[in-house]
Structures are given as C-alpha cells and as structure tokens.
Amino acid sequence: MSLITTAAPRTTATPAATARRRPARSAGTPYAFLAPAMILFAAFLAAPIVYAAYLSLRKVKVSGLGLGAKSRTEIWAGLDNYARSLSDPDFLPSVGRIGLYGLIVVPTMLGLALLFALLLDANRTRRSVGKFARISIFLPYAVPAVVGSLLWGFLYLPRVSPITDAFEAVGITAPELLSRDLTLWAVANIAVWGGTGFNMIVIYTALRAVPLSLYESARIDGASEVAIAWRIKIPIVTPSLIMTFVFSLIATLQVFAEPMTLRPLANTISTTWTPLMKVYRDAFTRNDLYAAAATSVIIALATFILSFGFLKLVGRRAFNQED
C-alpha cells in the first residue's frame, strides 16, 4: 500500500507538490511540536532580556529616612544607570582588560586549532600519532572551566609548579605567573588550553569532508603541501573559521568562571576584573540590581553588534567566493 503511494512522488514530486498533498494534517501540529520550546524560550530567554532592559531603566527612590516598607519606591530612571555604569571607574579597565584578553586568546586559540587540524589532516595516514594527538588536544573540552582553572592555578603557584622547576633547571629565575603583569596571560592560557581542541575538531571535521582526490590532482599539478593548505584547505574551512570566531568572541565577553576560580590563589584579580564580574558584584555584593542590569544590557548589545557586524563583514566575502 505505502509502496504504491510513495513510488510516484519520489520520482516526480517537487517539495511544493509534496506540501500540497498534506491537507489531512491538522494545521495546529507544527505549533504543538514547537510549543514546549517556545514557552521555555519566552520564559528563560526573552523574559529575562526584557526584564533586564526594564530594570536598567529604573531606580529606587528613598523617601524620608529610608525606613519602613513604603519609604523605598522604584521609579523611572531614564538612562541614569547607563551613565553610572559607563562612568564607573571599574568599568572601563575591565573592558580594556577583556579586550586585550580577547586579542590574545582568539587569534592564538584559532591559529593553533587551524594548525593542528591541518597537521592532523595531512597526517591522515599516520593513524596512531594522529589519533593520540587528536584525543589529547580535544580532552580539555571535557574539563569544566572551574576545574581547568583550578589545575592551572596550582601549576602557576611557584611552590608547586613544574614550570618554576624547568626555569630553575636552566638557571633562570622563574617569572611570577600570577603577578600583576602576567595574570592576564595566565588566564588567557587557560582559555586557549580549554578551547583549542574543540575548535580543532570543528575545523578538522570540515577538512575531512573534502575528497582526497582533490588534493591528489593538485599534487600532480605540482602544488606543495603548504600551497595546498593555503590555496585549497583554508578557503574550504573559512565558513567553519567564521563560526568558531563568532562563538569565541561571545565566549570572550563572558569570562567569569576562570578568574573567579583563580581569585583565591591570586590577589591580583579584583572583584571587577572582567565586565561580568562587575555585574555580579553590583547585583549581589552591592545589591544594586539596576546598575547590574544596565551593564548586562551594554555587554549583550556589544556582543550582538560584534558578532553580527563580523558575520556581515566576513560572511559576505565568504559567500561571494562560492559564485
């Protein structure tokens, strides 16, 4: 029965024609399938965003001595909270820090991920080394940021660190990795360590989709391995690189777990070391939800502008190449 009815459309029907054959289906069905997702989306994504935007425009007015239930009322604040956030002496330094952090982490992490992916791909035949390296480099993705920071934190402590031992073995005074000058690099290292493997797998997966015969013909034409990587492989993985870049950018703007975990080990990390740490301090230490909301909105807007801007800028060029 079903064989007879499906045989005809399989060869002739266009998607539009198949869609027209669907009147038996109730019109509400797709909405029923979407309902749980949409309800949760509204409750845990849309509503918090709207609520944060609303709170960022409000403030508390204290009347009289500030005692009693009625003396504190919430009133319209306009852009006061934003002005306060932007002029907070802790805000700009935290933004500068995270900007520098991003400049260190994103290119290093994606550069290493691309390098390792290309080497793994070139080494497709050497099974044992490739497999060992692939699993080892990917492994940190399985380690939560808190645990990774904790492990590196101990490795940074002069009294435990094999890094110190290595420096002393060759007669150089080891750098203090958690000193004021180096903390940013120490945190950046944790992010590079944790993120390289995942991005490597993304790029490697894209490379694996390319038929080997394409490289063979290039090789017969006399192209070197480096030329093949540069002229064929990198253009092929460009869409993956763009996506990993955007996701890394988003991750950079929300650095929180790593510095929070390192804080007990390093007195060089302040409570407003990153913008998100400042949001946390404002909301829970100072009980200033309005300032926290305003800073959150600023960070969210920055994320959107950066990621959309980048996608528009590079996306267009990447798509033009296909024509």
Partner 1 sequence: MSVISARRRSPLATTILLLGAAYCLLPVLWVLIASSKSSGELFSTFTLAPSTHLFDNLADLSGYRDGLYWRWMANTALYAGVGAAASTLISAMAGYALAKFDFPGKSTVFNVILAGVLVPGVLLAIPQYLLLAKVGMTNTYWAVLLPSFISPYGIYLARIFAAASVPTEILEASRIDGAGDWRTFFTVVLPMMRTGLVTVFLFQFVAVWNNFMLPYIMLGDDRLYPITVGLNGLLNQGANQPAMYTAVVTGALVSIVPLIAMFLTLQRYWQVDLAAGGVKA
By CB under 8 A, the residues from 57 to 96 that bind partner 1 are none
| Site membership for partner 1, residue 5 (CB under 8 A) | yes
| Site membership for partner 1, residue 34 (CB under 8 A) | yes
Among positions 72, 168, 216, 309, the unique one binding partner 1 when judged by CB under 8 A = 216
User: Which residues does 264 contact at the CB level (< 8 Å), separation at least 6?
Assistant: none
**Nearest distance from C-beta of residue 187 to partner 1, angstroms:** 14
Stretch that binds partner 1, among 3-11, 57-65, 79-87, 172-180 (CB under 8 A): 3-11
Give the nearer residue to partner 1 in terms of CB position, either 119 or 182.
Answer: 119
Give the nearer residue to partner 1 in terms of CB position, either 191 or 293.
Answer: 293
- Site residues (CB under 8 A) for partner 1, limited to 233-262: 239-240, 242-244, 246-247, 250-251, 253-254, 256-257, 260-261
Stretch that binds partner 1, among 57-65, 66-74, 99-107, 211-219 (CB under 8 A): 211-219
* SS3 letters across the chain: CHHHHHHHHHHHCCHHHHHHCCCCCCCCHHHHHHHHHHHHHHHHHHHHHHHHHHHCCEEEEECCCCCCHHHEEEEECCCHHHHHHHHCCCHHHHHHHHHHHHHHHHHHHHHHHHHHHHHHHHCCCCHHHHHHHHHHHHHHHHCCHHHHHHHHHHHHCCCCCHHHHHHHHCCCCCCCCCCCCCHHHHHHHHHHHHHHHHHHHHHHHHHHCCCHHHHHHHHHCCCCHHHHHHHHHHHHHHHHHHHHHHHHHHHHHCCCHHHHHHCCCCCCCCCCCCHHHHHHHHHHHCCCHHHHHHHHHHHHHHHHHHHHHHHHHHHHHHHHCCC
Structure-token match 């038929």, residue found? 211
| Site membership for partner 1, residue 227 (CB under 8 A) | no
Stretch that binds partner 1, among 44-52, 81-89, 96-104, 169-177 (CB under 8 A): 44-52
Give the nearer residue to partner 1 in terms of CB position, either 63 or 319.
Answer: 319
Among positions 12, 14, 23, 44, the unique one binding partner 1 when judged by CB under 8 A = 44
**Nearest distance from C-beta of residue 82 to partner 1, angstroms:** 16
| Site membership for partner 1, residue 2 (CB under 8 A) | yes
| Site membership for partner 1, residue 232 (CB under 8 A) | no
| Site membership for partner 1, residue 185 (CB under 8 A) | no
Among positions 106, 109, 191, 201, the unique one binding partner 1 when judged by CB under 8 A = 201
| Site membership for partner 1, residue 48 (CB under 8 A) | yes
